[in-house]
Amino acid sequence: MTEMMTPRKHPVAPLPEAGTLADEIVKALMFRVGKNPSVATGYDWLNASIKVVRDRIIARWIESTQRTYEAGGKRVYYLSLEFLIGRLMRDAFSNIGLMEEMRDALASLGVDIDVIAELEPDAALGNGGLGRLAACFMESMASVDVPAHGYGIRYVHGLFRQEIQDGVQVELPETWLEHGNPWEFERRERSYEIGFGGTVEATTDKLGRVERHVWRPSERVLATAYDTPVVGWRGKRVNTLRLWSAMPIDPILLDAFNAGDHIGALRESNKAEALTRVLYPADSHQAGQELRLRQEYFFSAASLQDIINRHLGEYDDLRSLPDKAAIHLNDTHPAVAVAELMRLLCDVHGFGFDEAWDVTRRTFGYTNHTLLPEALESWPIHVFERLLPRHMQIVYAINAELLREAREGGLNDSQIRSISLIGEDGERRVRMGNLAFAGSHSINGVSALHTELMKETVFADLHQLYPARINNKTNGIAQRRWLFQCNPGLTALVREVIGDRFMDDIDALRDLERHAEDAAFRERFAAVKRGNKERLARLVSERMGLWLDPSALFDIQIKRIHEYKRQLLNIVEAVALYDQIRSHPERDWVPRIKFFGGKAAPSYFNAKLIIKLANDVARVINNDPAVRGLLKVVFIPNYNVSLAEVMMPAADLSEQISTAGMEASGTGNMKLALNGALTIGTLDGANVEMKDQVGDENIVIFGLTAHEVEERRAEGYDPRAFIEASPELSQALSAIRGGVFSHDQPDRYRDLIDGIYERDWFMVAADFDAYADAQRRVDALWTDPADWNRKAILNAARMGWFSSDRTIRQYANEIWDVPA
Ligand code: 26W
């Protein structure tokens, strides 16, 4: 091995002696937090500890920035409206290599690091998979040494806090900044003006030809940067997450103030601050409000000004932008950046259209995260034009060029209608997916299946026109957070038996495979799992007052609540099983606990009803003595990153049961398997590739394939036929429909269940029997613990490929053209 390839075995931060670190914490507490140790609260200790470690991170941050600058290297800019980070302390402390030293130093001061760690709020600046992926990517880019900046919005309120009151989801505001944010740096000097509305003027030359367009916005706000350092594994590199906050240009309108209108004087201020106040809580369906489009433009425009500013600080002109900057669009949310870069190049920097279009296309890449039609963003022309009049002109100009290429490329009229940036069916709308596609040299899906379906469906015609652009980058997860930190027991066990190499090269996790045959190892693996299940049982007992038996099979479905994810299939199966247990008490039932966690979009009626149903079913089953504790249902409120960190390691069974073709990838599926859960799932998203990795015998697959779902729908699917053919399903559906679980309101679930009889878009009925059979196969496996544990170990051992380090290396080599 060459010197450069040798993994660094020691933390790179200079290690102060234990005594000095404790001194430093006390000093930080006194001089930076302003507290005497004798009166310091947990938050004060947390704050002081973060400040001490942050100092060391800053040293490496400056060094990383300098290194990229001196090398003249290309930088990656990851534009995302969501970064679902969760807590940062453990991640940063352990990546910089100071976790154990800080633990000891704090202990010497009488402070338990695990107690203060629990006080750190989750940064929940995202809804679900897409936002969490952005957070894993930020960590991996720093870990594999890719110079990168994440750009997003510093929402004052992240994703809402979920309470379950009487079985119903109640949304409460999330207040992560309540105690301040010790990680961030406010950069007042990094402020840019962002305009909205107004008019466009065209200046002409002597011959009356248009020279330049000048946009005169009627409203302007200031975007101010807040930077958070992102530390890679072993402190290799520290990158920047730059989040924008909106501020008024005139905090107080003096005329109004002097005229005595003190409230009116704050109008601008209130309006600006509203822009970045709250994250839209809808994933997978478009929020049509104008404020959302404002958020999208606000952060895209601020980020582009910043990127251009940095480029022109180092290079003479913007023609070299594509060689020095790869700008990535995380879904279509920042797609307006395509038009904004065109505007900046043409109107501000004097480029002609063709040259600007060439630079733009070579700079952008775009990832699509969903095929659901209701999630594809588009904006009514009149809204887009009123808010962004110059961008509207540019979209038309791009469209003219696109349609010209399409005609030359031989596309027919219907294909041309489908690729147009302007949708003409009904109200005319700007299609953000087509804009992102047209403006990018690379368009990727997030699993092999999803990418193929992209080519066949939403982007079929654009794919025919530009066959080289669509490529696949299967999602991944950051093993530092999703194994090392969340599962210290398993990590320690693995280190003991295969050594530390897997901590720097995750492919080495495969070395664990051979221990799957070792009965003594299996026992130890099972003991770790047992400990993690006890930890989850404790959490449930503290939060919900419910006692759970850790020796039962922990069956876990955790993700956003959505009909396509089919929590309903899982609940209906629970009801069918409940009925079976009551009817056949003599059989040897496997004790099982079905856990659910997840939030519903506040406006998504059926998703909220499904939460209520899970809670209703839980109440009845958990309190029925005839069940003798053989089956329990638990809906844990407020699923978030921190709760995920407790649930992932505690799962025996991972539910990945979406209607095939609808889940783009899934990433929770990877986290659960990495922590030694077996998957029960459909051939959807990344489940397909997980099956290839772990082997058919180590995963439980059931149900229709994506193409079968398509065929069924095309030939006219009749759910009633399936319901009538399945006594278990009919029984369960009638019980729910008839009010067995809702005596207080017997018709509560009538419409929901009628939806299955009449339409069943998500094919619950078609897949039910296959699913119930698969669950009985799971029961059979469970009765042979040696075999179960063998399979669980093989799942963990074979998940290395799903590291986001691998994903990021593929993006770096195949899309961004940066070394990794
Ligand atoms: C415009 C409203 C909106 C908001 C968010 C539409 C769509 C979204 C996201 C694309 C939803 C999302 O999070 N998609 C998930 O992305 C993950 C990361 O790629 C995948 O693993 C999940 O399968 C996909 O549902």
Question: How would you classify the pairing of strands 631-635 and 653-656?
Answer: unpaired
SS3 283: coil
**Residue to mutate (ligand 1; options 127, 295, 370, 604; most atoms within 8 A of CB):** 370
Measured CA to CA, the distance from residue 364 to residue 447 in angstroms comes to 20
Give the amino acid at 23. D
Which atom of ligand 1 is nearest the CA belonging to 375? 6
Partnered with residue 558 across adjacent β-strands are 597
Give the amino acid at 157. H
Of 364, 371, 346, 366, nearest to 356 by C-alpha is 346
Give first-to-last CA distance, the chain, whole Å.
18
Which atom of ligand 1 is nearest the CA belonging to 133? 18
Measured CA to CA, the distance from residue 732 to residue 718 in angstroms comes to 18
Residue nearest to ligand 1 atom 21, measured at CA: 666
97-142 pLDDT per residue, tens: 999 999 999 999 999 999 999 999 999 999 999 999 999 999 999 9
Which atom of ligand 1 is nearest the CA belonging to 128? 13
SS3 226: strand
- E strand or H helix at 137, and its extent? helix 129-143
Partnered with residue 162 across adjacent β-strands are 171
In this structure, what token pair is assigned to residue 278?
Answer: 């709250």
Helices 764-782 and 567-583 sit at what angle, rounded to 10 degrees? 60
Q: How far is the CA of 374 from the centre of ligand 1 (A)?
A: 12
Measured CA to CA, the distance from residue 192 to residue 214 in angstroms comes to 18
Interacting residues of 178 by C-beta distance below 8 A, sequence separation 6+: 121
Evaluate whether 18 touches 104 at the Cβ level (below 8 Å): yes
Q: How far is the CA of 458 from the centre of ligand 1 (A)?
A: 15
Measured CA to CA, the distance from residue 419 to residue 465 in angstroms comes to 9
**Residue to mutate (ligand 1; options 81, 132, 153, 283; most atoms within 8 A of CB):** 283
Of 422, 450, 431, nearest to 378 by C-alpha is 431
Which atom of ligand 1 is nearest the CA belonging to 664? 23
DSSP string, 715-739: T---HHHHHHH-HHHHHHHHHHHHT
In this structure, what token pair is assigned to residue 346?
Answer: 């043409």
Q: Which residues line ligand 1 (CB under 6 A)?
A: 127-130, 133, 282-286, 331, 369-370, 375, 377, 446, 475, 663-667, 685
Residue nearest to ligand 1 atom 6, measured at CA: 284
Where are the chain's structural domains?
1-72+89-118, 73-88+123-474+808-816, 485-802
SS3 686: coil
SS3 471: strand
User: For domain 73-88+123-474+808-816, which architecture applies?
Assistant: 3-Layer(aba) Sandwich (3.40)
**Strand stretches in 339-449, DSSP E:** 364-367, 378-380, 422-423, 429-431, 442-445
Interacting residues of 696 by C-beta distance below 8 A, sequence separation 6+: none
Measured CA to CA, the distance from residue 109 to residue 113 in angstroms comes to 11
pLDDT at 19: 57
701-716 pLDDT per residue, tens: 999 999 999 999 999 9
What does DSSP assign to residue 816? I
State the catalytic residues: 369, 559-560, 565, 667, 671
Whole-angstrom CA distances from 802 to 4, 130, 138, 646, 797 are 25, 16, 16, 20, 11
pLDDT at 17: 52
Q: How far is the CA of 809 from the centre of ligand 1 (A)?
A: 22
Is this model's pTM higher than 0.85 or not?
yes
Evaluate whether 165 touches 615 at the Cβ level (below 8 Å): no
Which atom of ligand 1 is nearest the CA belonging to 285? 2
pLDDT at 8: 41
CB atoms within 10 A of CB 696: 9
Rama region for 167: left / alpha / beta (φ>0; ψ in -120 to 50; rest): left
As to burial, measured by CB atoms within 10 angstroms (0-12 exposed, 13-18 middle, 19+ buried), residue 661 is buried
**Residue to mutate (ligand 1; options 286, 331, 376, 377; most atoms within 8 A of CB):** 331
Residue nearest to ligand 1 atom 12, measured at CA: 130
Q: How many residues does the chain have?
A: 820
What is the strand order of the sheet 700-701 is part of?
A: 631-635, 592-597, 553-558, 653-656, 678-681, 700-701
**Residue to mutate (ligand 1; options 78, 332, 369, 687; most atoms within 8 A of CB):** 369
SS3 662: coil
Which stretches of 409-518 are DSSP H helices?
413-419, 432-438, 448-456, 460-465, 479, 488-498
Evaluate whether 497 touches 521 at the Cβ level (below 8 Å): yes
Q: How far is the CA of 283 from the centre of ligand 1 (A)?
A: 6
Evaluate whether 694 touches 798 at the Cβ level (below 8 Å): yes
SS3 744: coil
Q: How far is the CA of 194 from the centre of ligand 1 (A)?
A: 27
Residue ranges in the chain modelled with pLDDT below 70: 1-19
Measured CA to CA, the distance from residue 198 to residue 284 in angstroms comes to 32
What does DSSP assign to residue 648? G
Q: What angle do CA 594, 595, 598 make, to 5 degrees?
A: 140
Of 60, 82, 31, nearest to 333 by C-alpha is 82
In this structure, what token pair is assigned to residue 268?
Answer: 């601008």
Q: How far is the CA of 450 from the centre of ligand 1 (A)?
A: 12
Rama region for 24: left / alpha / beta (φ>0; ψ in -120 to 50; rest): alpha
pLDDT at 3: 39
Which CATH fold topology does 485-802 show? Answer: Rossmann fold (3.40.50)
Cα 389–chain centre separation: 32
Measured CA to CA, the distance from residue 629 to residue 636 in angstroms comes to 18
Question: How would you classify the pairing of strands 378-380 and 470-472?
Answer: unpaired
As to burial, measured by CB atoms within 10 angstroms (0-12 exposed, 13-18 middle, 19+ buried), residue 356 is buried
DSSP string, 27-90: HHIIIII---GGG--HHHHHHHHHHHHHHHHHHHHHHHHHHHHHHT--EEEEE-S-EEEE--HH
Q: How far is the CA of 370 from the centre of ligand 1 (A)?
A: 6
In this structure, what token pair is assigned to residue 617?
Answer: 């079913």
Which stretches of 584-667 are DSSP H helices?
605-622, 641-647
Asked if 73-88+123-474+808-816 and 485-802 have one fold, the answer is yes
In this structure, what token pair is assigned to residue 784?
Answer: 């042979």
**Strand stretches in 68-209, DSSP E:** 75-79, 83-86, 123-125, 148-153, 161-165, 168-172, 185-196, 199-204
As to burial, measured by CB atoms within 10 angstroms (0-12 exposed, 13-18 middle, 19+ buried), residue 203 is exposed
Which atom of ligand 1 is nearest the CA belonging to 127? 13
Q: How far is the CA of 130 from the centre of ligand 1 (A)?
A: 5
